[in-house]
Structure 1
Amino acid sequence: MDVMLCTASILTLLAISVDRYLAVTMPLRYASLVLPWRVAVAMASVWTVSVAVSFLPIQMGWNTVNGTVQNHGPWAPKRTCRFELNRPYVLTDSLLTFYLPLVAMCWTYLRILHIARAQAKRIISARPTCITSYDCRNNPPTNTTLVSSVTAVALREHKATVTLAAVIGAFVVCWLPYFLLFTVLGLKEHPDPQTVPEFPFVLWLGYTNSALNPILYGALNRDFRSAYTHLLKCRCPIYSRWRSSQPCPTVTAARDQLTEVTLLCGHTPDSCRAGQTDQNFVLQEMSSTSATTTIHFANGTAATDVNGNER
């Protein structure tokens, strides 16, 4: 059970990294690729491989030096569970359940980071560099030139880097010591790793990764937070009653809290600084019953509402 659950945890992290990779590299095809039945097949494959890796070699005696089945028969010591290791078993098990998944996860997350940076730079190249701010409380509009593009790119890259470092870092820190010791003991064909003083410590360090994963993914990924909220609403009656008792904010309250609207301007910085007036602004007037969009032209000749009717 121990080997099965640890293997399932690691392979699930690999499946999540592949899912994130598809979402970033194929955003338009993602919904048609990641279907519920394919997710179910992936999860079934994770648990099938975990069961096969954990039970089959041990029950067949493939992990022992002489090929005998451990902890079975009249000669087996009572109330003890030994876990003997040999070179072929250790190398195969560690490659399939840790080293290859680690390489795959690092590659997918590095690709995600690279693509995220490229997308952010493309957005910046197409984004206007001059913005006009309009105070909603009947104050005159002011033109300001802000250099915020570089800051936006830096924030996106910082967030992507933090996410990558947290996920990969926690996985490596928690599991690498165990598998390094596991590999070394297997190459030495140790008769019982449980007797090694460091083995329980590195094993529990690996268990810690399974406790950290829900926290890390929930804190760093909006989709996971939404899934947690959905599960809590469905499974927890107390949480459901609390959510239903919360007042829904009205549009009027949101309007009262609004202090400033930032409007994008399509002019170059020079034209904005020159004070050209041929600018079109789109303002949104919110009421408690409806939302009306008014388009004010520079010459004041036309204005339309949200339905396209002339006002």
Structure 2
Amino acid sequence: MEAPRRGNGSLGVSRGYSWGASAALAGLVGLLIAATVVGNVLVVLAVRSSRALRAPQNLFLVSLAAADILVAALVMPFSLANELAGAWAFGPAWCRLYLALDVLFCSASIAHLCAISLDRYWSVSRAVEYTRRRTARRIKGVIGAVWLLSALISCPPLLSRPAPDGPPGCRLNDETWYILASCVGSFFAPCLVMGLVYVRIYRLAKRRSRSLSLKPPPQPRRGASRRNSVDAPDARSGRALDLWAAAASSRRGREGSVSGGGGSSVSQAREKRFTFVLAVVMGVFVLCWFPFFFSYSLYGLCREACQVPEPLFKFFFWIGYCNSALNPLIYTVFNQDFRRAFQRILCGARAGRGQRRRRGRRRGKPQQQERFLP
């Protein structure tokens, strides 16, 4: 039996599928590709069109969505064709490029999540200082570095050549050093960094919340305005950590924290909700890709003695691809700003005007003024 192949998710050349099985598999993968493209395009449009989602750090989500779209457009169709045909039929040049793109987009996805985790940590540990320095230009520079690092990781498939003997296929270098290096560099090392960072965020938020609960609230000086007392750096940093701890515990607690503060606390509460959502995104990514990378690295260590059955390895491989379609669903379930933006995009301007009219009625505005709303 051949070595596991990163490029097509197969342990060996396929023996062929019946017409019914081929149609079913093509239909499932077609739905996966469509869901990935549509969902991530909605993410890009939501960040660009929604005022609540225009924060610079959300550029990470746009770039991550772009990587998922490219996976669906440039990798999944060829993986499906290779699986159904049982052999690579697109030539050695495209094989090398296809393998490099597969490694590139997977590495870019986890590198984005790693950069996002560090951004969340700095926004919690240095709330005031880091928020002032976090600009769209800096975020774009970090995104560029993420893609450059991912491109360097994906270079070996471009430089290697397929084996001249054996059945026609498209597979990565089968040497142990490359298998282990690619698994560590593309998955295990970034996962370790993200795990340590989020543990640090949790401990920092918990410690600050405990200290705030034990300390009585400061009394404002006579003559000091409420706005000045709310916007003090120490209070703002402490409240940010407290709101993040509430966000991790329950949604009701998060909403209660938001309703009790001013404009600054609302924006910080939204940022901490994003931290919670992105922690879920990271967890789902690890769950989707861990089985593949674990079984692939086991094969690199002990070869046939640790090789998983072919159908199971294929399942692990395609579960990893499913992760590209899950992020928009996570945003929809856990973040109300994305839900509202998706509804506005899907339902159109008419639904948006209807929502504004309903809000105007609740606020007691005259109905004659509603027709002048944009």
Normalised TM-score (structure 2): 0.48
Distance in 1 (CA, whole Å) between partners of 2:245 and 2:120 is 21
Letter in 1 for 2:301: L
Distance in 1 (CA, whole Å) between partners of 2:346 and 2:333 is 23
Contact conserved, 2:205 with 2:244, CA < 8 A, in 1? no
Which of the residues 89, 94, 98 maps onto 2:178?
A: 89
Give the corresponding residue for 2:265: none
Q: 1:248 to 1:78 in 2, by over 3 A?
A: same
Contact conserved, 1:82 with 1:194, CA < 8 A, in 2? no
Contact conserved, 1:83 with 1:194, CA < 8 A, in 2? no
Q: Deviations over 1:161-194 (max 9, x none)?
A: 986874454233212111111112223468xx99
Letter in 2 for 1:58: P
Letter in 2 for 1:240: A
Contact conserved, 1:178 with 1:199, CA < 8 A, in 2? yes
Give the corresponding residue for 1:7: 107
Alpha-carbon offset, residue 215 of structure 1: 2.7
> How many residues matched?
216
How big is the alpha-carbon RMSD for the aligned residues of Structure 1 and Structure 2?
3.7
Quick one: higher RCO (CA 8 Å, sep 6+), 1 or 2? 2
Contact conserved, 2:113 with 2:282, CA < 8 A, in 1? no
Distance in 2 (CA, whole Å) between partners of 1:214 and 1:237 is 14
Contact conserved, 1:85 with 1:189, CA < 8 A, in 2? no
Instruction: Say yes or no: does 1:58 pair with 2:157.
Output: yes
Q: 1:156 to 1:229 in 2, by over 3 A?
A: closer
Contact conserved, 1:94 with 1:179, CA < 8 A, in 2? yes
Contact conserved, 1:120 with 1:156, CA < 8 A, in 2? no
Contact conserved, 2:124 with 2:201, CA < 8 A, in 1? yes
Which of the residues 80, 83, 90 maps onto 2:169?
A: 80
Give the corresponding residue for 1:239: 348
Q: 1:237 to 1:167 in 2, by over 3 A?
A: closer
Which of the residues 281, 300, 303 maps onto 1:186?
A: 300
Q: Deviations over 1:129-180 (max 9, x none)?
A: xxxxxxxxxxxxxxxxxxxxxxx99855524998687445423321211111
Q: Secondary structure at the match of 1:246?
A: helix
Contact conserved, 2:247 with 2:276, CA < 8 A, in 1? no
Normalised TM-score (structure 1): 0.57
Q: 1:177 to 1:78 in 2, by over 3 A?
A: closer
Task: Give the unaligned 5+ runs of structure 2.
Answer: 1-100, 218-242, 251-272, 367-374
Per residue, is there more helix in 1 or in 2?
2
Instruction: Say yes or no: does 1:112 pair with 2:204.
Output: no
Letter in 1 for 2:295: L
Letter in 2 for 1:202: F
Alpha-carbon offset, residue 13 of structure 1: 1.3
Task: Give the unaligned 5+ runs of structure 1.
Answer: 62-68, 129-151, 256-286, 289-311
Give the corresponding residue for 2:249: 158
Contact conserved, 1:90 with 1:186, CA < 8 A, in 2? yes
Give the corresponding residue for 1:103: 192
Instruction: Say yes or no: does 1:43 pair with 2:143.
Output: yes
Give the corresponding residue for 1:66: none
Alpha-carbon offset, residue 27 of structure 1: 0.9
Contact conserved, 1:194 with 1:200, CA < 8 A, in 2? no
Give the corresponding residue for 1:196: 310
Q: Secondary structure at the match of 1:120?
A: helix
Letter in 2 for 1:170: V
Contact conserved, 1:58 with 1:70, CA < 8 A, in 2? no
Alpha-carbon offset, residue 120 of structure 1: 2.4
Give the corresponding residue for 2:285: 171
Q: 1:60 to 1:155 in 2, by over 3 A?
A: closer
Q: 1:2 to 1:252 in 2, by over 3 A?
A: closer
